Amino acid sequence: MSNEQTHHPMASEGAAPGATGVSRETSDPFDRLVEDNDSPLAAEMMATERHRRALESATFPRPPRTRIIAVSNQKGGVGKTTTSVNVAAALAKRGANVLVIDADPQGNASTALGVEHRSGTPSIYEVLLDDVPMHKVAQRCPDIDTLWCVPATIDLAGADIELVSVVRREFRLHMALQALLEGPGKDLDYVFIDCPPSLGLLTLNAMVVATEVLIPIQCEYYALEGLTQLMKTVEMVRKHLNQDIHVSTIVLTMYDSRTNLAREVATEVRSHFPTQTLEQTVPRSVRVSEAPGFGQTVITHDPHSSGAVAYMAIARDIAVRGAAGAESK
């Protein structure tokens, strides 16, 4: 995306990972600090900072048409919301127009994006059940101009049951989102749908409108349990409801490279899904987990942290893969 690539004062120096240090007179205080200290922690910080700088000067190509990505895994607490909001924020920070649809009654994505979602706030519930147009409930996120959120309130908790008796109940989100994309949302580059931890009607609605599924997998024991069921659901949706859908991306979350278990899980996931699994993993990081408490993503909360840099790298991978055409059907 060329308009993003204006010269940044830090971009030309030491931008590439592993670049050698510059002279003490010209190096910045960060480089001096870490070069004076050869501890493993300093080395790790230096690697993270170099990676961040390299990403700062990297291009984030925009997709030829809107990519609609359902972030799904019926297993709870694997990083669906964290991945949705941080990848969305990273892409938006780099100039893309991005919408996050919170499709989980817990409203965690709405919290992390700092948008109002008290009970009674116009939300995805009114879109799905009362035909309210999506642009009427979308809110701009306070920290990033090109990032929007359709919030979820606790009212959504009954939707899985209430939708059962509604006409074309699997297509409610599809109808609402298509109307948005043909009108006020025509310039959106990405739509991320943060799914609840179940394979009920809300997740089904997300899969019917999405062209891609992104599956976060936590690098823990039981990580792969339930994955077969998830894959079967995607296949069922592809056969009967939405022939465009496919699992485009798998993100390994809360990865701790010091544990054998994390490495084993990663190896196993990669052996099953070699093309979908991104090289970049998300490290377990306090900054990532504390960011929602400030109504922020880690991208704005602490852009220098290892979690923010990992999510920025993941966002770039997703952007580059999409630009190659493979993911944008």
307 binds, options ligand ATP, Mg ion, none, Cβ within 5 to 8 A by partner type:
ligand ATP
Residue 79 makes contact with ligand ATP by CB under 6 A: yes
Q: Is 293 in the site for ligand ATP (CB under 6 A)?
A: no
Q: How many residues bind ligand ATP (CB under 6 A)?
A: 19
Specify the stretch interacting with ligand ATP by CB under 6 A; choose among 62-70, 73-81, 126-134, 269-277. 73-81
Tokens of 48: 């993270």
Question: Which range binds ligand ATP by CB under 6 A, 142-150, 185-193, 230-238, 278-286?
Answer: 278-286
254 binds ligand ATP (CB under 6 A): yes
Is residue 253 at the binding interface for ligand ATP, with CB under 6 A as the rule? yes
Give me the least distance between CB of 88 and ligand ATP, in Å please.
Answer: 13
Site residues for ligand ATP, window 186-225 (CB under 6 A)? 197
Do residues 161 and 112 make contact, with C-beta atoms less than 8 angstroms apart? no
**Strand pairing report for 212-218 and 147-150:** unpaired
Q: What angle do CA 323, 276, 185 make, to 5 degrees?
A: 45
Stretch in the footprint of ligand ATP (CB under 6 A) among 29-37, 76-84, 116-124, 313-321: 76-84
Q: Which two tokens stand for residue 127?
A: 């879109």
From the list 66, 72, 74, 81, which residue makes contact with Mg ion (rule: CB under 5 A)?
81
Q: How far apart are the first and last CA of the chain?
A: 20
Among 307, 314, 319, 322, binds ligand ATP (CB under 6 A): 307
Measure the CA–CA gap between 110 and 142, rounded to whole angstroms. 12
> Which residues are CB-neighbours of 7 under 8 A, at least 6 positions away?
none
Binders in 82-141 for Mg ion, by CB under 5 A: 108
Residue 113: CB atoms within 10 Å: 30
Contact between 85 and 112 (Cβ < 8 Å): yes
Angstrom distance (rounded) from CA 142 to CA 253: 26
Alpha carbon 63 to its chain centroid, in Å, reads 16
Smallest distance, Mg ion to C-beta of residue 107, A: 9
Q: Which residues bind Mg ion (CB under 5 A)?
A: 80-81, 108
Q: Which residues bind ligand ATP (CB under 6 A)?
A: 76-82, 104, 106, 108, 197, 253-254, 282, 284-285, 288-289, 307
